[in-house]
Structure 1
């Protein structure tokens, strides 16, 4: 009975993926200016001249790359390449390096903020695209962004948040809330970890592995609150919490991503330590 239920569930999920989700995102493709359109209203009316978020386009590349890896449908790899070409030609800043926050509909820069969170999502997309396509250029770009984060987007304590186009630190309105401007956030740390996990999985780069181990320690020692059995969310530059806030959804997301990281790293001692949390 259990096997029959599992099979039925798998069939339903695959049908929803192939007949619902994939066609929806294929319909968001912009063949005139590149990438994927940035806005649909509640009634699915498309605004072809809406702002295009670079995070959105990174996530779409990740989606189509993984869908292709799973289903081996060449049309999905074509969608991933369409997104990759847009990312490479427009989202990446060829003068100062890094990825913009957003573009105008025609692929010109709109919000030139460089956010560590955004650089991480680009690494995530590039790693998956490399796995799907075998394009070594994508892996090289991911490694360059890894080096950028490690050399430019952190201090001696941890990862910083927001920067101007030429990487001068600026206030972190984009990932703060409740009137609190955080020097460091759990959310950025989490998505750097997520991106590095995928980069290490496809590259085996030892430098990336070492940073994953370091980030695990930060979660265990500075982000996780053992008294309240939750993560803290917003911090000053020394990782002191600055707001009494419980982000229930992020706790779930972190549990999933730490679990995945432990599997990729395959370190029994580390796994035992993190599973306790």
Structure 2
């Protein structure tokens, strides 16, 4: 698998352990770069998943390397949960408890448990699950809060990144709690996990899917008032198929039947509003300026491919299959780096200057594109 082989060949940090925190657009490691939990959890998830799909012992070894690094360095032995960021030598430099990070850790540990049967991995996943359920739920207005201090106290800066708005609830965090609990319920089908998974689906149903526009609300205050700055098409289409996968894991046929038309409608709105001239899915629409950002970003194309295949296999509507084909053609022509491997952050349709965009970093991991390839294979197999 080309993506897995690139990550195996270029990202292992033999000097300081684990994996490099950053690799530039020309495959050169940035050896003093910090190491974030999102990158490391997603590497753990990816190699755990691909090792289940491809019979290659190296992939299993890299999954174990990632597991050992996460458990040894990111877990907070005093207060529980995982730190946000370490320096290159694995000393904690940002100890906040971002709920998004706890979710990705659960997701990754469940995948490693599926690969290995390692009981410790599942135990750590359940520890993180318990902490999220204990500390992050808004008992008055429902939903999950964004972030906490190291000891799970209140924190002023709730943002995932500088580009995010500082609100206590976000679609993005809820979405990745959803995918974490989807997998956790598959490996641990206990009543409390079932209840938590259904609760999270209900949060999307009640508060985050705008039934007028069929876009997802992105940033909300405690009372769920919407402060989204615009539409983000990648999150819309990603949410459609991840909610569907959560419903499949939950196994509630009535709830699935109720929500499926809405999920297909989200995909339809993406087709209607977000397809670029070359078949790509564009980035976003800004309310304040009335302008559309036509950039084609790697993760958006990956999620669109899967989302359109989900919509096609569920609805039978051929427009979604054509949309998936067009996105795949765009990925092959403009998003994949055929000379140096992996995918470009920003497609070559718009960007010829690679230098500002890393191949590996805090937010660029093998998760979106690697997952898209595996999920696309699964959907395509259903069509045979």
**Same-fold status (TM-score > 0.5):** yes
Find the residue that maps to 1:230 and give its secondary structure: coil
Please give the per-residue CA displacement for 1:53-91, whole angstroms capped at 9, x wherever unaligned: 111000000000011111132211111010000010001
In 2 relative to 1, CA 178–51 (structure 1 residues): closer, same or farther, beyond 3 Å?
A: closer
CA contact (8 A) 2:148 2:158 kept: no
1:238 is matched with which residue: 223, 242, 259? Answer: 223
Which position in structure 1 is the counterpart of 2:45?
62
In structure 2, what is the Cα distance between the partners aligned to 1:77 and 1:176? 31
In structure 2, what is the Cα distance between the partners aligned to 1:111 and 1:244? 27
Aligned positions of 1:4-43 closer than 5 A = 18=1, 20-26=2-8, 27-43=10-26
Aligned positions of 1:146-165 closer than 5 A = 146-156=129-139, 157-165=142-150
Please give the per-residue CA displacement for 1:175-228, whole angstroms capped at 9, x wherever unaligned: 376784211101111100010001111221221111111111111111111111
CA contact (8 A) 2:44 2:66 kept: yes
Which position in structure 1 is the counterpart of 2:103?
120
Farther-moved stretch of structure 1 (29-38 vs 222-231): 29-38
Please give the per-residue CA displacement for 1:111-146, whole angstroms capped at 9, x wherever unaligned: 111100000000000000000011000000000100
1:105 is matched with which residue: 77, 88, 112? Answer: 88
After TM superposition, give the deviation of residue 171 of structure 1 in Å.
2.6
TM-score (norm. length: structure 1): 0.89
TM-score (norm. length: structure 2): 0.65
Please give the per-residue CA displacement for 1:211-269, whole angstroms capped at 9, x wherever unaligned: 11111111111111111111111000111112342121111010110111122122210
CA contact (8 A) 1:54 1:118 kept: yes
CA contact (8 A) 2:217 2:226 kept: yes
Aligned positions of 1:152-191 closer than 5 A = 152-156=135-139, 157-175=142-160, 180-191=165-176
Find the residue that maps to 2:43 and give its secondary structure: helix
Find the residue that maps to 2:26 and give its secondary structure: coil
After TM superposition, give the deviation of residue 148 of structure 1 in Å.
0.3
Q: CA RMSD in A?
A: 1.5
CA contact (8 A) 1:161 1:183 kept: yes
Which position in structure 2 is the counterpart of 1:49?
32
Does 2:67 correspond to 1:84?
yes
Gaps in structure 1 of 5+ consecutive residues: 1-17
Question: What is the count of residue pairs matched by the alignment?
Answer: 259
Gaps in structure 2 of 5+ consecutive residues: 263-384
Find the residue that maps to 2:230 and give its secondary structure: coil
After TM superposition, give the deviation of residue 96 of structure 1 in Å.
1.1
After TM superposition, give the deviation of residue 173 of structure 1 in Å.
4.8
Structure 1 runs of 4+ off > 6 angstroms?
A: 176-179
In structure 1, what is the Cα distance between the partners aligned to 2:171 and 2:22? 28
CA contact (8 A) 2:11 2:23 kept: no
Farther-moved stretch of structure 1 (24-33 vs 58-67): 24-33
CA contact (8 A) 1:172 1:183 kept: no
